[in-house]
Amino acid sequence: QVQLQESGPGLVKPSETLSLTCSVSGGYNNDYYWSWIRQPPGKGLEWIGYIYYSGSTNYNPSLKSRVTMSVDTSKNQFSLKLSSVTVADTAVYYCARGAARFDPWGQGTLVTVSS
Amino acid sequence: EIVLTQSPGTLSLSPGERATLSCRASQSVSSSYLAWYQQKPGQAPRLLIYGASSRATGIPDRFSGSGSGTDFTLTISRVEPEDFAVYYCQQYGSSPRTFGQGTKVEIK
């Protein structure tokens, strides 16, 4: 079955750009949308946005000015960039399949914003 | 943006009891595009219910969802030890997708 795995730096400095990649195994195809969702420590879930294999995207307006998503179909990967980060962007970042409901999810990766 | 409010914040139950979790939307969720997720400590959320009442693959039938419009409910008919977790509702009828703040089901 489909499995997702996030990767990227666990520590990012304030004002810099957070970059994460999600690798999909066991069933990537071009019929799906792929999303990013985050969860600050001890808090709830926030949808960041989704991307289709064609490259079309839909971002949460609250983050839209700082978010860029991309997809590399040859590598079965999709990526997230979040610019100008602050401590408020410290969170576990999840990738997931879907643009509406999300299933399955990656295990998540903690990104800490700190100098 | 649709705001989802879950209640109660915490539900204290003994194994075998019935759990009733509520999710109220600030405006109608179109086509009952509402999902429920279960999250255990240190784990990613897992999809339980979609379309307000359809169980996801592999989800036991003690989990059921109901509701429409602005009021939705997740019911666990008899809580098992592995069901103690945090539960989130999420709407996908409009963008941005939004989640409730969660209900924690804890052992009494």
DSSP track, B45-102 = -EEEEETTTEEPTT--TTEEEEEETTEEEEEESS--GGG-EEEEEEE-SSSS-EE---
pLDDT classification of A28: cutoffs 50, 70, 90: low
Rounded CA separation A96/A49 (Å)? 10
**Worst-scoring range by mean pLDDT, A30-34, B40-44, B102-106?**
A30-34
Kindly indicate the confidence band of residue A1, based on its pLDDT and cuts at 50, 70 and 90: confident
The phi-psi region of residue A15 (left if phi > 0; otherwise alpha if psi is between -120 and 50; otherwise beta) is: left
Residue B44 — pLDDT band, cuts 50, 70, 90?
Answer: very high
Nearest Cβ partner of A44 from B35, B43, B101?
A: B101
Percent of chain B beyond pLDDT 70?
A: 100
Chain centre to alpha carbon of residue A38 = 8
Please tell me the distance from the alpha carbon of residue A90 to that of residue A95, in angstroms, as a whole number.
16
Residue B56 sits at the vertex; the CA angle it makes with B51 and B59, to the nearest 5 degrees, is 130
Per DSSP, the three-state class of A66 is: helix
Q: In this predicted structure, what is the pLDDT of residue A69?
A: 98
Tell me the chain B residues in contact with residue A104 when contact means C-beta distances shorter than 8 Å.
Answer: 44, 46-47
pLDDT at B76: 98
Nearest neighbour of B47 by CB, restricted to A60, A94, A101: A101
Percentage above 70 pLDDT, chain A: 97
